[in-house]
């Protein structure tokens, strides 16, 4: 498959930290779906800088993560990397966090893939909990639908 045609969906999160596991839960649903050959789904978990690998060999990437201070709890947001530029601490931060990863990507990859960030405003990061809060849980299937829609465009 030519590089220009590949599209990656990369999900971030810590499934042992309550709502911080949102991205991982979305991955679990996306992974069960059938996708065309030019779409790959990755569970980046808390990979930090190691997730740079998932951003190679693709022309488009959708990053899925939990958000803090972007809207009302349960609200799904679609962001561009530039929306994070002045908010380095706003994502929940897995390892170094998405803003750091995206800055690092600029150093190691040129040209950059087209990137969208899909996330949900979460209620709470709860250590030692593998359960999502109600509103975050409800956002999971909606996010899956949204991503399918984005990729059908």
The residue (of 50 and 145) whose beta carbon lies closer to another protein is 50
**Going residue by residue from 1 to 20, which x/- string records binding to another protein, judged by CB under 8 A?**
---------------x----
| Residue 78 binds another protein, judged by CB under 8 A | no
Q: Which residues contact 93 (CB under 8 A, 6 or more apart)?
A: none
The dihedral region occupied by 31, where left means phi > 0, alpha psi between -120 and 50, and beta the remainder, is alpha
Shortest CA distance to 26 belongs to which of 40, 37, 38, 42?
42
Helix axes 134-152, 22-31, angle to 10 degrees: 50
Residues of this chain, 117-146, that bind another protein according to CB under 8 A: 127-128
Residues 72, 68: Cα–Cα separation, whole Å: 9
* Cβ 92 to another protein shortest distance, Å: 10
Of residues 18 through 77, those in contact with another protein by CB under 8 A are: 46-50, 52
Does residue 111 belong to the site contacting another protein (CB under 8 A)?
no
To another protein, the closest distance from the beta carbon of 97 in angstroms equals 8
Both structure tokens of 57: 């060999």
- Per CB under 8 A, residues contacting another protein are 16, 46-50, 52, 89, 93-97, 100, 103-104, 106-108, 127-128
């Amino acid at each position: 498959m030519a590089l220009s045609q590949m599209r990656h969906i990369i999900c971030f999160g810590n499934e042992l930290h309550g709502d911080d596991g949102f991205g991982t839960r979305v991955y679990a649903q996306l992974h069960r779906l059938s996708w065309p050959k030019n779409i790959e789904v990755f569970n980046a978990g808390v990979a930090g800088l190691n997730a740079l690998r998932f951003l190679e060999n693709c022309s488009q990437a959708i990053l899925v993560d939990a958000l803090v201070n972007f809207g009302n709890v349960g609200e799904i947001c679609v962001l561009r990397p530039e929306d994070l530029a002045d908010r380095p601490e706003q994502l929940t931060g897995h390892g170094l966090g998405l803003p750091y990863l995206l800055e690092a990507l600029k150093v190691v990859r040129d040209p950059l893939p087209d990137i969208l960030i899909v996330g949900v405003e979460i209620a709470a990061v709860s250590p030692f909990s593998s359960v999502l809060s109600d509103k975050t849980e409800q956002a999971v299937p909606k996010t899956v639908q949204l991503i399918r829609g984005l990729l059908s465009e």
